Amino acid sequence: MVRRKDPAVRSLLIERAAQMLAARQPVTLRSLVAGTGMSTMAVYTYFGGMDGLWTAMRQEGFTRLAARLATVETTDDPVRDLAALGAAYLSNALAVPDLYRVMFDAGFELEDAAAADDTLHHLVRTAERAKTAGRFRDDVDPLELATQSWTVGHGLASLVATGPLPPQALAHGVPLLTALFVGAGDDPVRCRRSVELGWAL
Amino acid sequence: MVRRKDPAVRSLLIERAAQMLAARQPVTLRSLVAGTGMSTMAVYTYFGGMDGLWTAMRQEGFTRLAARLATVETTDDPVRDLAALGAAYLSNALAVPDLYRVMFDAGFELEDAAAADDTLHHLVRTAERAKTAGRFRDDVDPLELATQSWTVGHGLASLVATGPLPPQALAHGVPLLTALFVGAGDDPVRCRRSVELGWAL
DNA sequence: ACCAGAACATAGCAGCGTTATGTATTGTGG
DNA sequence: CCACAATACATAACGCTGCTATGTTCTGGT
């Protein structure tokens, strides 16, 4: 009785929307399906409307971000890795600034929060590694430190991607993260070296 | 030959738009002028279109923010004052989250940057005071430190106002700012006390 | 007192997301 | 195997958006 929705079509639309977003073309219902042979109804059968498309785009953004963070190699210096994750976060955000803006736009829902948590998890695990390696104090909560690192990264990404700060302001990431990690107990000079190594934009 | 535009009408429209924004009502060309007796053309004579209105709203947002920061009293503890400015920044952002979002929306232009600079200036001056008071190292650039404080504040404000982080995450401001100021040379225990005093959300 | 020009009102346009309606397609139960 | 029912899809229309073209009203300097 059914005629199942084709997942490939869904990904195709998401892909196309992402490309249009990256090309700074307005993503509208009609422009999205134009040239694909599909009618505007496709967006409704696959996403339930434009809001659904934007939600899907947010998830896509977090998925890509998670994939990007997964490429960061884990070394024997977890603090370096933590900084490298921050750098990768910023690199991803500025590579696709419009998608990044969509991810944190007004329509943020609970289901998006799950995707965001997955992203945070990379940071949490690395913070844990740094803690067990004795780089951080015992009373440091890895989740809290990860959240604080995220806050710094997002603040930087948001201000640079939106325009208030110039791209060279990304260099602030080094002093910000070193201060944060030293505050968590790491040795100042060693920390600085680790962060600079991991940052390496 | 002229019939000058009435500045009062302009402020009235901005005020009305701000109220609708705060009430989470959609601010559209027609809904904005509805009930005021004006026609839709008013928006064009006073702002040149909706884009102009949003630019004006951004400036209004920065003006209100600057006014809010100006209410922060300056004590003999500049580090406390710096933290107090950060708290005021967040308090303002979360009091009018939709206006705050507009301020950092896609259409950010050069003329908005000037308004943002005025806001930053409060932080810069206080950072300078802390430096001359001997709380920070000599090689600390007040502008850079202010920018970094701003980054932290904006990151926190953005993540909480948009939804990814819950309101209690605002407490991260204390460790983040202390770490930053200690990294700038302040004494750890004294800094912590100052920040906690100034934060006092 | 005139009249150029700014301010304003009205109506219409193209575009937007959405929905209603009709048609085609498909998997499944008899 | 076939008919039925449910899904997918196409087309057209609706109400809304920002914007512009046109006509009117008001105002201030010569």
Q: What is d(CA B31, CA A33) in angstroms, rounded to the nearest whole number?
A: 31
Q: Running DSSP on this structure, what letter comes out for residue B74?
A: P
Task: State residue B112's pLDDT score.
Answer: 83
Residue A1 is predicted with a pLDDT of 54
* Nucleotide closest to B38 measured between CA and C1': C8
Q: Residue A89 has what pLDDT?
A: 98
Contact between residue A101 and residue A139 where contact means Cβ atoms under 8 Å apart: no
Per 3-state DSSP, chain B is made up of helix, strand and coil in percentages (nearest 5) of 75, 0, 25
Mean of the per-residue pLDDT values of chain A: 95
Strand C nucleotides, any atom under 7 Å from protein beta carbons: they are 4-11, 15-20, 25-28
Model pLDDT for residues A88-98, shown as the tens digit of each residue:
999 999 999 99
Residue listed under structure tokens 């680790």: A194
Two structure tokens written together for A2: 């059914």
Q: Which of B106, B113, B178 sits opposite A164 (nearest CB)?
A: B113
- Residue B164 reports pLDDT greater than 60: yes
Grouping H, G, I as helix, E, B as strand and the rest as coil, residue B50 is helix
Closest nucleotide to B48 by C1' from CA: D19
Residues contacting strand C at CB < 7 A? Answer: A 1-4, 26-31, 40-41, 43-44, 49-51; B 1-6, 9, 37-42, 45-46
- What is the 3-class SS of chain A, one letter each residue? CCCCCCHHHHHHHHHHHHHHHHCCCCCCHHHHHCCCCCCCHHHHHHHCCHHHHHHHHHHHHHHHHHHHHHCCCCCCCHHHHHHHHHHHHHHHHHHCHHHHHHHCCCCCCHHHHHHHHHHHHHHHHHHHHHHHCCCCCCCCCHHHHHHHHHHHHHHHHHHHHHCCCCHHHHHHHHHHHHHHHHHCCCCHHHHHHHHHHHHCC
Give dist(CA B60, CA B54) in Å, integer: 9
Give the mean pLDDT of B162-173.
96
Lowest mean pLDDT among A53-62, A74-83, A105-114, A129-138: A105-114
Residue pLDDT, tens place only, A41-87: 999 999 999 999 999 999 999 999 999 999 999 999 999 999 999 99
Q: How confident is the model at residue B110 (pLDDT cuts 50, 70, 90)?
A: confident
List CB contacts (< 8 A) between A175 and chain B.
144, 148, 183
Residue B2's pLDDT is: 55
In Å, how far is B36's CA from the nearest CA of chain A?
A: 28
Token pair for B43: 């928006």
Distance measured from the CA of protein residue B69 to the C1' of nucleotide D28, in angstroms: 43
Q: What pLDDT is attached to residue B5?
A: 77
Sign (positive/negative) of CA torsion A164, B89, B78, B72? positive
Distance, Å, A45 CA → D6 C1': 14
d(CA A28, CA A153): 30
| B16 burial via Cβ count (<10 Å: 0-12, 13-18, 19+) | middle
Task: Of B170, B195, B163, B173, give the one whose Cα is nearest residue B182.
Answer: B195
Q: What is the pLDDT of residue B3?
A: 62
What digits encode the pLDDT tens for the residues A65-77?
A: 999 999 999 999 9
Cβ atoms of B116 and B78 within 8 Å: the answer is: no
Q: CA-to-CA distance for B78 and B74, rounded, in angstroms?
A: 7
Average pLDDT value for residue range B102-120: 88
- CB of B104 within 8 Å of a chain A CB? The answer is yes
Q: Is B157 helix (H, G, I), strand (E, B) or coil?
A: helix
CB nearest A155 (choices: B116, B158, B178): B158
Residue A5 has what pLDDT?
77
The predicted pLDDT at position A114 comes to: 87
Least confident of A10-14, A197-201, B80-84, B184-188: A197-201
For the cut 80, the answer to whether the pLDDT of residue A165 exceeds it is yes
- Interface residue of A119, A123, A148, A168 to substitute, partner B, most B CBs within 10 Å: A148
| Residues having Cβ less than 7 A from any atom in strand D | A 1-6, 9, 37-42, 45-46; B 1-4, 26-31, 40-41, 43-44, 49-51
CB contact under 8 A, A151 and B172: yes
Pick from A98, A11, A164, A183: which is nearest to B58 by CA? A164
